[in-house]
Amino acid sequence: MDVAQRDRLYLAREEAAEGMQIARSQGGFLFDQHGKKYLDFTAGWCVGNLGWGNEEIRAAVRDFDGPTYVHPDYLYRGWAELAEGLAEIAPGKLTKCYRATGGSEAVEIALQVAMAATGRPSFISLAGCYHGNTIGGRSLAGDRETYPNLLPRCRHVKPPLDDRAADRVERLLKGEKVAAFIMEPVVCNLGVLIPSNEFMLRAMRAASAARCSLWTRWRPGLAAPANSSPPNISSWIRTCCVWPRRSPPVTRRWGRRW
Ligand SMILES: Cc1ncc(COP(=O)(O)O)c(C=O)c1O
């Protein structure tokens, strides 16, 4: 049986695999099983920001000589140092990190933190967005036909992100008890959808007035080609620009679980 046959038989997928078979990767290139070279424009769906086969990273993994596992309640130098480094580059007053194994889990934690910190039940997100595979992440996308039991208080804003969409965001933020408004600054998962500066400014003002957290790395000028830089969407957590002034009361309980 070849790889394609095995894949068809044993791997569950939403869509059939594309024909290309990856054997190795180096820098910005992928190589198939015959050694044919491809320039990886997708960067692994934007998670290959440091390039493939990066020698510094490979050496660090090879040379790692620490514990195989650390119980979450114990102290561990690596966790504390990583958290400190992330706090240094995070915007505003964000200084605490939760440990997560990937993006879906990080988003899930963040949804729970937002609800716990604000005492509010609702979320706003973009219709059809992708924030992970958990029920929370799926609820942000809003596909109730496939998943009838999604979280109930998720409100969606349909692209395009124009004045009408901004009107809806403002209405929702005024009328609902919104814990957080979640969106990618450049919505890669909706085909590189770039919101206008006006939309983002109105959304940020409305979120700020409602004392609601808006999770995005957007800053004025991001949408303008002249001074935009690619946002790092695989960042450790979809970052908060506006955060409720009360800090989450859940650290100890959560520290135990993660
Ligand atoms: C915006 C966004 N949020 C969340 C996720 C989920 O991350 P993970 O695949 O690590 O669970 C992704 C993954 O592509 C993403 O693009």
Residue nearest to atom 8 of ligand 1 (CA): 103
Which atom number of ligand 1 is nearest to the Cα of residue 184? 1
Residue 219: per-residue pLDDT:
54
pLDDT tens digits along 137-166? 999 999 999 999 999 999 999 999 999 999
Residue nearest to atom 7 of ligand 1 (CA): 103
Task: Say how many Å lie between the CA of residue 91 and the centre of ligand 1.
Answer: 21
Domain co-membership, 158 together with 200? yes
The enclosing domain of 30 has a CATH number of 3.90.1150.10
pLDDT tens digits along 185-238? 888 888 888 888 899 999 989 988 988 877 665 555 443 333 333 333 333 233
Q: Per the domain annotation, does 71 fall within a domain?
A: no
Q: Per the domain annotation, does 27 fall within a domain?
A: yes
Residue 239 in tokens: 């970052």
Instruction: Return the percentage of the chain with pLDDT > 90, whole number.
Output: 64
Beta bridge partners of 182: 125, 215
* Host domain of residue 156: 77-257
pTM of the model as a whole: 0.79
Residue 22 has pLDDT above 80, yes or no: yes
Task: Say how many Å lie between the CA of residue 233 and the centre of ligand 1.
Answer: 8
Residue 254 has pLDDT above 70, yes or no: no
Mean pLDDT, the chain, whole residue set: 83
Task: Say how many Å lie between the CA of residue 2 and the centre of ligand 1.
Answer: 30
- Asked if 125 and 140 count as a contact pair (C-beta separation under 8 A), the reply is yes
Residue 71: per-residue pLDDT:
96
- Asked if 217 and 185 count as a contact pair (C-beta separation under 8 A), the reply is yes
Q: Per the domain annotation, does 72 fall within a domain?
A: no
Which atom number of ligand 1 is nearest to the Cα of residue 45? 14
